């Protein structure tokens, strides 16, 4: 199958490209940054700014495919609170990806959305029917809700076959960003303070390979699963305080854990109900939180150091 992946230089994009190439698919990556993790993926990546339709249009004749997987987004929620124009960029890249699919007659479209679309309704678990625009917490949330609406409109107006996947706090290899887990690892390695913004935070962390399993099942079972939305998440909550304690313990760090106030726009509690994905797709995440954190620390220690020698390179159009 010929598959286009936007955000192919990001965390999820890199791991997904590896899996698809290993299975023999013909993969084309689109990202505004080179892939610094894998030379094989860099060779199949077209460096393009997905906000710029002229760039896409110039390359469009070579972008034929059976499926487009749209992962590209700026997923740093608080950064988008401080710079709301970057939420606009997320909506624009989604629109342009949909237009690429429409104009090139790409029949299938997978959209990476986020648990952020549920807002802070303080439910015990969240099912796919619990989105409510009145609970929109941040510009990032608004951008993902708008993205889902655009996907649904293209399904109805242009007969694009679609699946929406809602990810939740994906972590693991190929992430040297300032998201909480790689940030805590770097801070613990350097024995620096680990700051928690809101000790009540309780979130559903999903190891990268469990996220990839969900995407691969959507591809494999597309005909039966299409026109639906699925929570692709582990389905178990863990506190940010516990996360910091685990990282500190595993790295034998002397870092103090500092509790600060909650930041504007961030979700306090989220645990996914992934029953729909389990039943429709056979989704079965395999990596408990403690095991996933151990794997992530091991990967990070082998590939990156706390001085972030790779920092400063242009960040890819990372996914959720």
Q: Does domain 2-168+208-233+271-285 have CATH number 3.40.50.170?
A: no
Bridge partner list, 70: 6, 111
pTM of the model: 0.93
pLDDT value of position 308: 46
The predicted pLDDT at position 59 comes to 97
Domain locations in the chain as residue ranges: 2-168+208-233+271-285
How many distinct helices (H) and strands (E) make up the chain?
12, 13
304: confidence class by pLDDT, cuts 50, 70, 90: confident
Indicate the pLDDT class of residue 277, thresholds 50, 70 and 90.
very high
Average pLDDT over residues 12-34: 98
* Cα separation, 51 vs 73, whole angstroms: 11
Comparing C-alpha atoms, which of 138, 52, 57 is closest to residue 104?
57
How much is the mean pLDDT over the chain? 94
274 pLDDT more than 70:
yes
Q: What is the pLDDT of residue 305?
A: 59
Looking at the DSSP bridge assignments, the partners of residue 3 are: 27, 67
Question: For residues 249 and 25, what is the distance between their CA atoms, to the nearest angstrom?
Answer: 41
Q: Using an 8 Å Cβ cutoff, are 210 and 277 in contact?
A: no
Percent of the chain past pLDDT 70, that is, above it, reads: 95
Task: Name residue 195's beta-bridge partners.
Answer: 258
Question: Could you read off the pLDDT of 175-234 as tens digits, one per residue?
Answer: 998 899 999 999 999 999 999 998 899 999 999 999 999 999 999 999 999 999 999 999
pLDDT tens for each residue of 116-171 = 999 988 889 999 999 989 989 999 999 999 999 999 999 999 999 999 999 999 99
Distance separating alpha carbons of residues 97 and 5, to the nearest angstrom: 10
């Amino acid at each position: 199958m010929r598959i286009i992946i936007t955000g192919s230089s990001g965390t999820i994009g890199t791991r997904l490209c590896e899996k698809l190439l290993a299975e023999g698919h013909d993969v084309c990556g689109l990202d505004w940054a080179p892939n610094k993790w894998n030379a094989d993926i860099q060779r199949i990546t077209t460096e393009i700014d997905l906000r710029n339709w002229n760039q896409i249009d110039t390359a469009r004749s070579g972008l034929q495919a059976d499926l487009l997987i749209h992962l590209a987004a700026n997923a740093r929620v608080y950064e988008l609170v401080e710079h709301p124009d970057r939420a606009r960029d997320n909506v624009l890249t989604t629109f342009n990806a949909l237009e690429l699919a429409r104009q090139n007659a790409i029949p299938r479209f997978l959209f990476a959305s986020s648990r952020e679309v549920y807002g802070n309704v303080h439910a015990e678990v969240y099912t796919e029917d619990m989105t409510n625009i009145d609970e929109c917490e941040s510009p990032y949330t608004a951008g993902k809700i708008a993205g889902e609406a655009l996907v649904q409109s293209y399904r109805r107006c242009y007969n694009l076959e679609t699946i929406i996947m809602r990810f939740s706090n994906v972590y693991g290899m190929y992430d040297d960003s300032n998201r909480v887990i790689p940030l805590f690892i770097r801070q613990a390695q350097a024995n620096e303070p680990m700051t928690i913004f809101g000790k009540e935070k309780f979130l559903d962390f999903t190891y990268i390979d469990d996220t990839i399993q969900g995407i691969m099942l959507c591809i494999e079972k597309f005909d039966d699963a299409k026109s639906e939305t699925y929570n692709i998440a582990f389905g178990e909550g863990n506190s940010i305080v516990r996360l910091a304690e685990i990282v500190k313990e595993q790295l034998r760090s002397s870092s103090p854990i500092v509790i600060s106030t909650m930041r504007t726009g961030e979700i306090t509690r989220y645990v996914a109900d992934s029953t729909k994905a389990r039943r429709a797709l056979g989704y079965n995440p395999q990596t408990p939180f403690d095991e996933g954190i151990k794997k992530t620390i091991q990967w990070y220690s082998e590939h990156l150091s706390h001085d972030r020698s790779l920092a400063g390179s242009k960040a890819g159009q990372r996914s959720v």
